[in-house]
Amino acid sequence: MKKTCALILCLMLLAAAPAAKAQQFVPAAVEISNSKVRIDGKVYYEHKVKEKQTLYSICKAYGVDLQEVSKINADQLENGLKVGALLLIPTGGVPDEKESQAQAQPKAKPDVKQEYNSGKSEPELSGAEKAHAAAVQQGEVRYIRHRVKWYDSMLMLSLKYKVSQEDIIAANNLDSRTLVVGQILKIPVSDFSEIDDNEMIEITEEETFEAEDGTGNSDTITITDWVEPEEEEPAIVPFNGTARIALVLPIASRTNSPSGNFLDFYAGILMALNEIKSSGISIYLKVIDMADYDSCLQLVEKAGLDKFDFVIGNFSVENIEVVADYCDAHRVPLISPMDQKIEEVAYYHKYLINVPLSSSTQTMRLAESIQYRPSKDNVIVWGENGETRGTFHKEITHCLDSLGIPYSTVGGGISRNGGSGVRENLVSGKRNHVIITSERETVAADAVRNTGMIARGGQYDITGYTSHKARRFESIDQELFQRMNARFCLGYYVDYTDEATRDFVRRYRALYNIEPGPFGFQGYDIANYFVKALSKYGSDMINGIGNMPGSGLQLNFRFDRRTEEGGMFNEASRNIDYEDGGITLRR
């Protein structure tokens, strides 16, 4: 019956997704470049990226391997493919005899782009080059001024000006090859054939230099006083009343076994959007089945994701990079709803929104929930001895240390009489926070059981803690958590005693004839939260959610950036206490 319902739901999905072929992304045609460069004896095309070209379409046009091009241009592609970027494309060979002879001939004004590291004898110096050589001999150095563009990299500047990266770094006293948009660099060039005379500047030991701007005026720039200009932010566009949403899921809807979990997620989203529409907001939803595409590169080329207000996409940590690069370039928020591992990717993608809490974040929230008071709280960390101590033990002690919470560490088994120092470390008159760190089911179950027995003795006030994984162990009955007054900080939790939750379950059953699973609740919460954020903040939703905490049926939301260039991380856990014979959801 469940499989039949899933297939029916799949058909509903396909019927509900509006056709948007007219708005699909069409990559621009790629013309083979006439410009070639020689580097370390190898010949490359020099390709300038144009609007709507993709790395996939460029590699396809040149007939080269995408991975090879990505490796050669690693610096240039570090922040995604940018319009105007210069890519080195391998030609698959070396110049023929005629080309080599032509390159060996000196020219009155040599074509610098075709002579990098040619290995040939140096052509006769031009007048500008002779002047530069004389300046060097006299202890003076000639530079040009270069203002860093968003597509620049140290490698491309080195190739453009025929100077080593190390020389640029040394001339500017840089600590790394990282460049900042708007930064002014001094370039000690040796070939002025492509440099406007007005850009040539003389610098000896001074920290300032001047360049004519062509109007008779001069701009003086002081390197030591230079302040990084703020990157130009796009104008904020208010919400226009229609939410355009792309939903990208690995549904495999055309097969006989579509993913039940993702269909459940989609069903929850549909319920939320149907409610939102009744409030007067118009909804345009495009459902994209990842199984219909050979790769994520093909998906971003054809799906037209830049046309949407935000994208909800369940990409894995292995394949999200291409989509995140695309969304960063087009300033489209990309919401990752499920995979905890995406957290590591979100550190360097500004428009990536990571919804699920990682295990380490849940552990930090757990440590913070202690709210330690020296006169009223006593913390004991119990774990297995030696190398058997696992990840949770290391994470919780690290969190306690970072919060400055003192604790006693004991090991071995916990007997009903306390054992291995547990009872000896309990303090009457204080709340004793006993943290059981073992994630081995048999060991954790025994420790929870016996800690509960000590707590029921009434002599000590005990609050117990375990890894969130231990809560799912079959051998630990919920009553045992009640006995030890357990506390958890979870990534998600549904309170079925809540009337809003019960109402959702009733409506879900009536519509789909099946019970909602965790993915259904998750889809419902995510759609509700982000459409409301879009209607409130418009195109500035990516920043606005930092000021918009919220609570759904299963998830809490509190977003923040951990780094200036990183994306948004959900920092809100779902906190529950086992107490008074039941479970209390702490908002």
- In this prediction, residue 295 carries a pLDDT of 86
Q: Which amino acid is at 427?
A: V
Q: Hey, how many other C-beta atoms are within 10 angstroms of the C-beta on 412?
A: 13
What does the alpha-carbon distance between residue 308 and residue 18 come to, in Å, rounded to a whole number?
Answer: 14
What does the alpha-carbon distance between residue 94 and residue 273 come to, in Å, rounded to a whole number?
Answer: 58
Using DSSP's 3-state secondary structure scheme, residue 186 falls into strand
Domains and CATH numbers, the chain: 1-28+244-357+491-574 (3.40.50.2300), 31-122 (3.10.350.10), 125-222 (3.10.350.10), 361-490 (3.40.640.10)
Q: How many CA atoms lie within 13 A of 475 on its CB side?
A: 11
What does the alpha-carbon distance between residue 544 and residue 537 come to, in Å, rounded to a whole number?
Answer: 6
- Identify the H or E element spanning 58: helix 55-62
Name the nearest CA neighbour of 457 among 408, 487, 417: 417
Tens digit of each residue's pLDDT (9 = 90 or more) over 310-330: 999 999 888 898 899 999 999
Contact between residue 271 and residue 519 where contact means Cβ atoms under 8 Å apart:
no
- In this prediction, residue 251 carries a pLDDT of 77
Contact between residue 144 and residue 199 where contact means Cβ atoms under 8 Å apart:
yes
- Identify the H or E element spanning 325: helix 320-330
Structure-token match 């241009």, residue found? 73
What does the alpha-carbon distance between residue 439 and residue 348 come to, in Å, rounded to a whole number?
Answer: 32
Integer CA distances (angstroms), 370 to 45, 411, 471, 482, 489, in order = 61, 21, 19, 18, 11
Phi, psi at 199, each rounded to 5°: -90, -10
What does the alpha-carbon distance between residue 437 and residue 439 come to, in Å, rounded to a whole number?
Answer: 6
Contact between residue 574 and residue 522 where contact means Cβ atoms under 8 Å apart:
no
Length of the chain: 587
Contact between residue 304 and residue 22 where contact means Cβ atoms under 8 Å apart:
no
Contact between residue 575 and residue 586 where contact means Cβ atoms under 8 Å apart:
yes
**Residue 182: CB partners within 8 Å, gap ≥ 6?**
147, 148, 228, 229, 231
What does the alpha-carbon distance between residue 482 and residue 463 come to, in Å, rounded to a whole number?
Answer: 10
Contact between residue 273 and residue 531 where contact means Cβ atoms under 8 Å apart:
yes
3-state SS string for 252-276:
CCCCCCCCHHHHHHHHHHHHHHHHH
DSSP-derived letter for residue 149 is P
**What is the full per-residue pLDDT of the chain (587 aa) written as tens digits?**
444 454 344 445 444 444 333 334 455 788 888 777 667 667 788 888 888 788 888 888 888 888 888 888 887 787 778 887 888 888 864 344 444 444 434 333 323 222 222 233 344 444 434 444 454 444 445 677 777 765 567 766 776 777 777 888 888 888 877 777 667 788 886 544 444 433 333 333 333 333 333 333 333 333 333 344 455 667 889 999 999 999 998 876 566 666 778 889 999 999 999 999 988 999 999 999 888 888 888 898 889 999 999 999 999 888 898 899 999 999 999 999 999 999 989 998 999 999 999 888 999 999 999 999 999 999 999 888 765 678 899 999 999 999 999 999 887 655 555 445 677 889 999 999 999 998 888 888 888 888 888 888 889 999 999 998 888 888 888 888 999 999 999 999 999 999 999 999 999 999 888 899 999 999 999 999 999 999 999 999 999 999 999 999 999 999 999 988 899 999 999 999 998 778 888 76
Q: Which amino acid is at 137?
A: Q
